[in-house]
Each structure stands twice: as C-alpha cells, then as structure tokens.
C-alpha cells in the first residue's frame, strides 16, 4: 500500500511490537507525530518534560521489559538533548532505537534552522546509526535498526529522517520481524573442555557476573552453573539480580564499593570465572593486583571486551545463556565445601553495617526492601544513593535494579523509573535519588503527574553532592569545592507544585511510615529524607589501590 514516510515509521513500530514511545515533538518531526495521532489507540506516546527524560524513559523501559525502548526527538536541540541518554544506553548495552527528524534533504549541510549532524554526533555512542534520504529505504532501515539494537551485545541505534522524507510516499508491505539469533558460532568446544578441566582442578573457584547475564536472560543457567561448581558469586553493579542476592553463595558487589567478602574472596581465589562483564576500572582497582592468584576465564558475547582491561587464560565468545547451557551439560558436580565454609566465615566477619540510631541512606534502602518484600523495581540516580541501593537491597531476580553504571549519568533515575513503571505496571517502582541528582531531572515529576504514573521518588537529601564530598573528605583535605548545596530549595513544595504528593522525614520511624503510605497511595509520590551530609559509602577502595585493600570506617579509626 502507498504510505507517507511518517506512516511507514508508525507501521514499522507496530511490526516490531512497540506499544509505548517516549518523546517531545517539534517542527521537523511533525509528520511523524501526526501519524502517531492517528494510531494513538495502538501506540501510546508519553510526552516527557525534556528530551533527555524521554531517552532515559526508553532506556528504563528496555531494561525492565527486555524489549527495545523507543524515543523520538525533533531536529537540532531536540536531537542533541537525547545524546546523554543514548550514551547511557550504549555504555550499559541497552537496546534503544532513537528516531530523530532533520531538515529537508536539500537543506542538509547548509546550517539551516535547527539543523544538526546528529548521526555524526552520536556515532561514537551508538551500535549503528542511519540517515534515511530515500523514503523507499525507510522501512528496511527501521527494521535493521531494531535488529541491530537487539543482536549480540545490545545497544542503541539512531535513525535520522529528513522532514521531506517523512512526507514523501512509498509502497509499504508488512513484514514479520526475523527472530534474533543468539550468538554461538564462535564457541570453541576445545576451550570449553579446557575450562571444565580448570574447574575440576580448582580449590578456590569464584564466579563474577555482570550485566551480560541479564541481557542474555541466563539467570536460570547461571543458578545451575553455580550449584554445579559450588562456588561463591559476586556481581558488578550491572549484574545485580542475575544471581539471587538472598542465596548463601552470594557475597555481594565487587570493586570500589564492593563488600570485603567479594573483594577478599576474589583476591584469594585460584580460578575466577567472569560472565558478561567488561572489567571496568571500578571493578578492577589495581589491575596488576586483581585476582593475582587466579586463572581467569572470561565468557562474553563481545570479543572486543576480551583481554581489553585484564588478561585472561581462556575466553569463550558467545551468548551467556548458550555458553552456560553447554558448560552445564558437560560439568559434573564439584565439591568445594572447605572454600565455601571460608567464604561464609568472611561474610560473618565483614557484614554490611550502618548506624541504626539515625536516618541514613542504608536505613532508607533497607526499609524499602522490607516494605516491598524485595519485589520492587529499584531505579537509582548516581553516587552515594546508587551505591546504598546496590548494597542494601537484596535483588531476587534480573531487571529489578535499574541504574546508569558505565556513564554514571546524574539525572537518569526518574525518567528511567517512568519507563520502568509503564513497562511493568504491576510492579512497585521506586527511584532512589540524591538531592544533587534530583535537581537535574525533577521536571519529570510533571510527567508522572500528567499521566498519573505511580512512581515513588525517594530523595536521600544530605544537602551536598555526597559522593564527590566523600572523596573531598578522604583525599582532598576536606576542601569542599562546589559540593555544598546549602540553599532553601524545598523539594516537597516542588513536588506539590507539579501535582505530586510529598512528605519530608527526619527519622527512620517517619520513613518507615512514609514508604508504606506511598506504596498504598498508588499515585506519584516524593519522600524527602533528611540525612547527615557526612554519611559515607563503606567499604571503599582508594583510587588505584587493590580491591584487597578495601577499607571501612572502622579501619580508619584503628
């Protein structure tokens, strides 16, 4: 049938099963919005307060549902406003398709009004991007964009369409999307046997899991693998929920703010099996000292990550689900009980603790865990709030913890929470924010209010940029340069002005009551939690130090 380019865009979204898109209209993308208007009963459009909020909402939707998130923006500043969201998705391997529209083809390259080379700008932070100058190529390009976003290691893809292409006509024919195949053609059976041999001869094996396990939907295979190897399990920030945080074998997060048990355990191990993790600097600490007694096995879908940050003995390139399935088929039950007993003793010796006498970030997170029975989707901003949310909530399953890991994007969480709630309407969704981060995206409360999206915004308010101040305290002689937020901004009034109910709490008892109130209300809510500006995230590894040198507040006092 003969359709305009804008109508083809909408039909292709429907082909891909897209039911929700996030965006902000403008002149160049008007044709697409006009087409969306005619299909509003099939595709829900969520108008965010800012284009960056739309890109983060698409990201949060993708992370929680496993589907491709979609965001829309117009040319010029509309397109550039989503760049941070695209980069966030790229660093954390999130499948997002961003559709932007540009000036007419004959105006490209002439510094026309609101013209920008968005494909050039986003090239370093997308898996692929396209400029579609021929309406006859539009449908296949959008189909390719969705396929690329999901295949192998997922990531964002941008499609930029000049306005006259959205208005031109072309023949459109419906196509069923081809299934996305799991990458398995590079899996070496010989290497698999070598890895089995290492496992069988190891005395102190350790398993480290990252976000790749979640992206591959490999949690069940991981659980079987852990049981067969009989090894302790640590996770990266992006790996939260890949392995049940309540399990006896779980030791917590690894790295700069990882548990002492995870950091010490990996250092003592003789075999480290890393699955779906890229070994970022926050995980490794001092590279030369990382797992220095261990043979390292790296399982990853992306060959570019192997031997990039740390050298490994063996690598298996392939989808984590497929690799673990094949390993589980070959592996016999192992017995490492003396090692597991040692790990349990370490967990008892180095528990995660905090001051229960006053309201603290850890206390807030632990209260949320109890109030939600560990079933909520927890989104975060970046900094202390993020680390506390990672440390003190026990994540039972994948896609429960939604956070910007690689890019560390302040202002990410509230937009992501909106996307998460719309993608998973039956789940409680809570965004744990610091006051510094909340300032960057508080305008998205208006989006929550407009659509009555019942997200719970918990602001851990210490009136400082907490993580930066922590570094200034420990490493910069307490010179608090530009990190004190000593103003009179009232976040409860801000929330109320945007149509969102708000409460301020100063004690743990008040927060316990407030979080239950917020859950029962089933409306967008803000809780402003007043905590001490000098509260810190413990344990910590100093920059450049070995993870074996993790220290806590008690260590500083000794």
Q: 338, exposed or middle or buried, with CB in 10 Å at 0-12, 13-18, 19+?
A: exposed
Q: Is the pLDDT of residue 454 over 80?
A: yes
CA–CA dist 237, 223 (Å, integer): 18
Contact 522, 452 (CB under 8 A): no
Sorting pLDDT into bands at 50, 70 and 90, what band is 472? Answer: very high
Sorting pLDDT into bands at 50, 70 and 90, what band is 299? Answer: very high
pLDDT in tens, 144-202: 999 999 999 999 999 999 999 999 999 999 999 999 999 999 999 999 999 999 999 99
Q: Are strands 295-300 and 157-162 parallel, antiparallel or unpaired?
A: unpaired
Q: How confident is the model over 206-226, as a mean pLDDT? A: 98
Sorting pLDDT into bands at 50, 70 and 90, what band is 556? Answer: confident
The DSSP output letter for 484 is B
Lowest mean pLDDT among 79-83, 316-320, 436-440, 551-555: 551-555
> In this prediction, what percent of the chain has a pLDDT beyond 90?
98
Q: Is 109 helix (H, G, I), strand (E, B) or coil?
A: coil
Q: Is the pLDDT of residue 11 over 80?
A: yes
Q: 448, exposed or middle or buried, with CB in 10 Å at 0-12, 13-18, 19+?
A: buried
> In this prediction, what percent of the chain has a pLDDT beyond 70?
100
Q: Which of 146, 152, 151, 156 is nearest to 94 (CA)?
A: 156
**Tokens of residue 480, six digits:** 């608090």
pLDDT in tens, 356-413: 999 999 999 999 999 999 999 999 999 999 999 999 999 999 999 999 999 999 999 9
Backbone angles phi, psi at 135, to 5 degrees: -60, -25
pLDDT at 557: 75
3-state helix, strand, coil in the chain (%, to 5): 45, 20, 40
Residues, the chain, total?
558
Q: Is 157 helix (H, G, I), strand (E, B) or coil?
A: strand
Q: Is 30 helix (H, G, I), strand (E, B) or coil?
A: helix
Q: Which of 263, 216, 218 is nearest to 236 (CA)?
A: 263
Q: Cα 115 to chain center, whole Å? A: 31
CA–CA dist 57, 441 (Å, integer): 12
Q: How confident is the model over 290-297, as a mean pLDDT? A: 97
CA–CA dist 155, 146 (Å, integer): 10
What is the number of other CB atoms lying within 10 angstroms of the CB of residue 387? Answer: 27
pLDDT at 280: 96
pLDDT in tens, 332-351: 999 999 999 999 999 999 99
Active-site residue list = 51, 113-114, 163, 467
pTM of the model: 0.97
Residue-range domains of the chain with CATH: 2-171 (3.40.50.970), 189-349 (3.40.50.1220), 361-538 (3.40.50.970)
Cα–Cα distances in angstroms (integers) from residue 278 to residues 92, 153, 357, in the given order: 10, 12, 39
The rounded mean pLDDT for the chain is 97
Contacts of 174 (CB under 8 A, 6+ apart): 11, 15
What is the number of other CB atoms lying within 10 angstroms of the CB of residue 396? Answer: 16
Q: Cα 359 to chain center, whole Å? A: 27
Sorting pLDDT into bands at 50, 70 and 90, what band is 76? Answer: very high
What is the number of other CB atoms lying within 10 angstroms of the CB of residue 14? Answer: 14
What is the number of other CB atoms lying within 10 angstroms of the CB of residue 429? Answer: 25
Q: How confident is the model over 414-440, as a mean pLDDT? A: 98
Sorting pLDDT into bands at 50, 70 and 90, what band is 84? Answer: very high
pLDDT at 187: 93
Q: Which of 523, 534, 533 is nearest to 556 (CA)?
A: 534
pLDDT in tens, 534-545: 999 999 999 999
Q: Which of 364, 402, 395, 309 is nearest to 511 (CA)?
A: 364
Q: How confident is the model over 294-308, as a mean pLDDT? A: 97
pLDDT at 205: 98
Backbone angles phi, psi at 557, to 5 degrees: -75, -20
**Tokens of residue 296, six digits:** 């390292």
Cα–Cα distances in angstroms (integers) from residue 217 to residues 67, 156, 321, in the given order: 12, 19, 7
Q: Is 206 helix (H, G, I), strand (E, B) or coil?
A: strand
Q: Is the pLDDT of residue 415 over 80?
A: yes
Q: Is the pLDDT of residue 558 over 80?
A: no
pLDDT at 426: 98
Q: Is the pLDDT of residue 511 over 80?
A: yes
Q: Which of 47, 38, 103 is nearest to 71 (CA)?
A: 47
Contact 78, 24 (CB under 8 A): yes
The DSSP output letter for 239 is G
3-state secondary structure 492-527: HHHHHHCCCEEEEECCHHHHHHHHHHHHHHCCCEEE
């Amino acid at each position: 049938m003969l359709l305009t380019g804008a109508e083809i865009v909408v039909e292709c979204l429907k082909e891909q099963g897209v039911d929700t898109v996030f965006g902000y209209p403008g002149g160049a993308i008007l044709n697409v919005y006009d087409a969306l208007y005619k299909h509003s009963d099939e595709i829900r459009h969520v108008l965010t307060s800012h284009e960056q909020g739309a890109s983060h909402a698409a990201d949060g939707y993708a992370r929680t549902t496993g589907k491709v998130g979609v965001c829309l923006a117009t040319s010029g500043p509309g397109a550039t406003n989503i760049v941070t969201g695209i980069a966030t998705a790229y660093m954390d391997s999130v499948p997002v398709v961003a559709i932007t529209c540009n000036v007419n083809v004959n105006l490209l390259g002439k510094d026309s009004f609101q013209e920008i080379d968005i494909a050039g700008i986003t090239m370093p932070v997308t898996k692929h991007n396209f400029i579609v100058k021929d309406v006859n190529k539009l449908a296949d390009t959008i189909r390719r964009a969705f396929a690329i976003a999901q295949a192998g290691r997922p990531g964002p893809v941008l499609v930029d369409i000049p306005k006259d292409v959205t208005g031109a006509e072309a023949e459109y024919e419906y196509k069923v999307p081809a299934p996305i195949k799991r990458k398995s053609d590079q899996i070496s059976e010989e290497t698999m046997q070598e890895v089995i041999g290492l496992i069988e001869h190891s005395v102190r094996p350790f398993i480290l899991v990252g976000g790749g396990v979640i992206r591959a939907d490999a949690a069940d295979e991981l659980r079987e693998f852990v049981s067969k190897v009989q090894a302790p399990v640590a996770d990266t920030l992006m790996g939260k929920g890949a392995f049940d945080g309540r399990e006896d074998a779980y030791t917590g997060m690894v790295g700069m703010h990882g548990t002492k048990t995870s950091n010490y355990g990996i250092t003592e191990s003789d075999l480290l099996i890393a699955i779906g993790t890229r070994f970022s600097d926050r995980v490794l600490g001092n590279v030369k000292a990382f797992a220095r007694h261990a043979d390292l096995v790296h399982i990853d879908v992306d060959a570019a990550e192997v031997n990039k940050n740390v050298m490994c003995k063996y690598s298996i390139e392939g989808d984590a689900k497929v690799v673990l399935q094949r390993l589980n088929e070959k592996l016999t039950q192992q017995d490492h009980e003396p090692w597991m007993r040692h790990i349990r003793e370490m967990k008892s010796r180095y528990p995660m603790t905090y001051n229960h006498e006053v309201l603290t970030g850890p206390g807030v997170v632990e209260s949320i865990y109890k109030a939600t029975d560990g079933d909520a989707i927890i989104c975060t901003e970046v900094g202390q709030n993020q680390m506390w949310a990672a440390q003190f909530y026990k994540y039972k399953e994948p896609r429960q913890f939604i956070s910007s890991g690689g890019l560390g994007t302040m202002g990410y969480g509230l937009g992501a929470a909106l996307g998460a709630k719309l993608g998973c309407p039956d789940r409680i969704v809570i965004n744990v924010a610091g006051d510094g981060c909340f300032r960057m995206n508080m305008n998205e409360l208006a989006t929550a209010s407009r659509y009555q999206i019942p997200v719970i915004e918990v602001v851990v308010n210490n009136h400082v940029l907490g993580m930066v101040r922590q570094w200034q305290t420990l490493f910069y002689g307490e010179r608090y340069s530009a990190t004190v937020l000593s103003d009179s901004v009232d976040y409860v009034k801000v929330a109320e002005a945007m149509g969102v109910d708000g409460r301020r709490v100063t004690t743990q008892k008040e927060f316990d009551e407030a979080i239950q109130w917020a859950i029962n209300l089933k409306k967008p809510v803000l809780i402003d939690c007043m905590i001490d500006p000098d509260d810190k995230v413990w344990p910590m590894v100093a920059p450049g130090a070995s993870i074996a040198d993790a220290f806590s507040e008690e260590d500083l006092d000794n």
